[in-house]
Amino acid sequence: MTITAEQGHRGGRPRSERADKAIIEATLDLLAAEGGVDAVSIEAVAARAGVGKTTIYRRWPGKESLIVDALAAIKAPPPEPAGESVRDDLIAQLDAKRMDMADPRIGCLFWTVQSSAEKYPELARQYAERLVEPRRDKIRQVLRRGAESGELRADLDVETALMLLGGALHNRNRAPAENLPEDYVARVVDMFLLGAYVR
C-alpha cells in the first residue's frame, strides 16, 4: 500500500506507517459495510483503527480526503503511454482499469463512492480530481498525440472519444468480472479505431 504525500499531513509529530495503514484499512472496511459512505466518520475510523481522532486530523482534514486516499491506496496508477502505437496505448490504459475493477472489493468500493456523489459533492469533487481525471488525462494524451501525428483523424473529438472508450468499460463493470471476455478491451479499442483512423 502506498501512502502519498497528499494526505493532509500538517507537520508536527513524525508519521507512523503502522497508524497510517490501520487508518486506511479501517476506512476501507467501514466503506465496504452496509452503510457505505454514511458509515465512515472520523470517530468510527479512529475507533476501528485504534488511534485517536487527533491522529487522523493531523493527516486528513476530513472524511472526504480520507476516503479518496484510502481508494487511491488500493488502486494501481495508470501506466505511462509508450508512445509507439495509439492502439497499444489505448489497450494498456483501458486494460489497467479493467484489471482494477475485476477485483470484487475494489469494484464494490468504487461503485459505493460513485453512487454517493449527489449526497457528498465534496467527496465527488475530490474523487474526480484525484482518481478519475489523472487516468482520463492519460487517454487524452494518447488521443491527442495520435491526432497530431496523423495516426488518427485530425478533427477527432477527443472528449467524445474519451466518453465512448470509458463508457464501454464503465457499463460492463456492472457485470460480474468473470463475464468480461479477456479480449473485450481490444475489441472496444478496435471498434473505436474503425471510425478514428485516417482513411
37-52 tens-digit pLDDT: 999 999 999 999 999 9
Average pLDDT, stretch 144-173?
A: 88
Task: Specify the pLDDT at position 171.
Answer: 64
Overall pTM > 0.85: no
Task: Specify the pLDDT at position 42.
Answer: 96
21-39 tens-digit pLDDT: 999 999 999 999 878 999 9
**Rg of the chain (C-alpha set):** 19
* Residue percentage of the chain with pLDDT more than 90: 62
- Cell reading at 192: 473505436
Please name each of the domains of the chain with its CATH number.
17-73 (1.10.10.60), 77-196 (1.10.357.10)
Would the CA dihedral through 186, 137, 125, 52 be positive or negative?
A: positive
Kindly report the backbone phi and psi dihedral angles of residue 127, in degrees, each rounded to the nearest multiple of 5, phi listed first.
Answer: -60, -45
178-190 tens-digit pLDDT: 566 778 899 999 9
